[in-house]
A and B are shown apart, each in its own frame.
Chain A
Amino acid sequence: MTEAILISILVTVVGAATPILLAGLGELVVEKSGVLNLGVEGMMLVGAVTGFAVTTMTGVTFVGIVAAALAAAGASMIFGYLTLTLTANQVATGLALTIFGIGLSSLMGAGFVGQTVERIGPLFPPALAEHEHLRVLFGYDPVVYFSFAMTLAVAWFLRRTRAGLILRAVGENDVSAHSIGYSVISVRYMAVAFGGAMAGIGGCYYSLVLTPMWAEKLTAGRGWIALALVVFSAWRPMRLLAGAYLFGVVMTLELHAKAAGFEYVPPEFLAAMPYLATIVVLALISMRKSVGSQAPACLGQPFKPST
């Protein structure tokens, strides 16, 4: 295989990994605060359609991305209100958010089907971005570098800051955190909003970069893979980064197989691979007994302060 093919494979892997990395980072923070939001797929779709619509209307991609983050964070607030304030079941509410996101995005996007936007170009000047070798490092769009920066930021936030400590305390033992004076509910609201914003940016990566257009259910279940990725990462940001790129490789197998000239593997089998791989990976992780359950202790439990 020539170097050019390897580089082009790498570029597609980065493309596939970036949105699930972003959405996964958001969900990691949400789950660290003790909340399970299964609405990632729905929030990504809301982000995808909003990012596309606003970019089309304003002509400025950056505005589109910000709008995607805000819209998906807004959608996540519906989830937040139902589960945190009204203590509704988190699993059911998350599913409702996904169904809602699918419907809302299809409705909002109905007028945009078939249109295209100019895809986001590389962050660095052509001398670096299009260089024969250096483009491995410098050839990506700004969102890719943003996803790396956010991985480091989330890791630093959770490990090294006081706010991160509070967030983890809320997720591990909400009753104790409450009794020493932290507002469990506000911390969780902020985490849920952050998770929504990150899912929104991840979602609009599909409509603005990967396939610069809008189509119904554009994210094709990647939001669920982002959820699985959080389990895979054992709630650690750096492992989430590694996992996202591993999944990126599996998700682009179809393209690699074509490039390498494989013709006897049915394309449907390759298309099913990311989902099968997710199941296998989840099973393998659960098999390692030493790991135990690393999920935050209060994950998915409603918190009702007994006043």
Chain B
Amino acid sequence: MIGRLTSLSKNIVQFCIFLRSKGFAVGVEEEAIMLEVLQFLDYTSYEAFFMSLKTVLCRSKTQWDAFDKLFREYWEQVSQAVDAKLKAETKKKKQPVSRQQQFSSLMAWMKGNKNKEAEETAAYSMNEALSRKDFSAVPESEVDELMRCIRNLSRRLAAKANRRYEFTRKIDLPDLRKTLRRNLRRGGELIDIIYRRPKRNRLKLLLLCDVSKSMELYSAFLLQFMYAFQQVYNRMETFVFSTSLKRITPLLKQKNFHDTLELLSTESDGWRAGTRIGESLHAFVEDYSRKLVDSGTIVIILSDGWDMGNIDMLQKSMKIIQEKTKKVIWLNPLAGYAAYRPDVAGMKAAMPYIDVFAPVYNAESLRTLTKWL
């Protein structure tokens, strides 16, 4: 791809193309700026040349960090290309089609397209990653994507307007009643104007997450979900349960996702055991609900509803939780399948006490969830 161009400016343009192939959003404008910079720069100085390219073409910390290596890579290849150019041209013409190539294309025709196969495996690889048992297999990039989703979600949750109003210093709706009251002593002349705005609902979130054996397939996603939510949303508590209940809010407050993973894997003895939703919810109601739950709380339960415990207890606890809170959202990773019916005993028992029942298994489904909230 990289050829040698004689003039410096052409080379810069090609370097921009090279950067673009590496994910830099370098546009024509940046190229133009860079060419402009050359006019008043001593570009015989390697350092000045390098620094100016870096300042103009980088846009973020990631790019800033990656730039040095890419720069070296490109200009090394350019100098190599000086010798290689002539050889490469003659080689191209004379190269005969080898037998091996003929054979493989024939095979491909007979057995279907190989490339297509590769594509399919790529598409399935996400499931594979999810089913991995090792916590550290969770890629950081997916966390970022999820964080973005959840940030939108939490903003929407935090910004729900109330019907009441509160005082504001910003210029917003004038509060006539208070304005008149305040200005009475000036004979009713409106000098001070008082403003009001719709009161924001500050919702509390409470996440109860099933980490039992049957949810293992989704554990990577669950972890990301819990971590991302806790990072983004301040007024939030997180619990995990399988056979017993555990509060993990402090563990999720780590700045670095890998730190959280480390902490969780040291503390996750009871993970992937059987599920006793009823007992766990009961424990929650007994131990925490008085302190952590009120009518401004949304409870999110992440579980597939497979239960081996006390169904009666599940029903009772769900009832209490629903009565105490604003809304109960049950997110079920299985509900994404078209054929899914909530027939499991645990799910059936809980169903009457759920306000929103929705599928969630990846970032995409989370996005659709936004409209339910």
Q: A and B: real partners? A: no
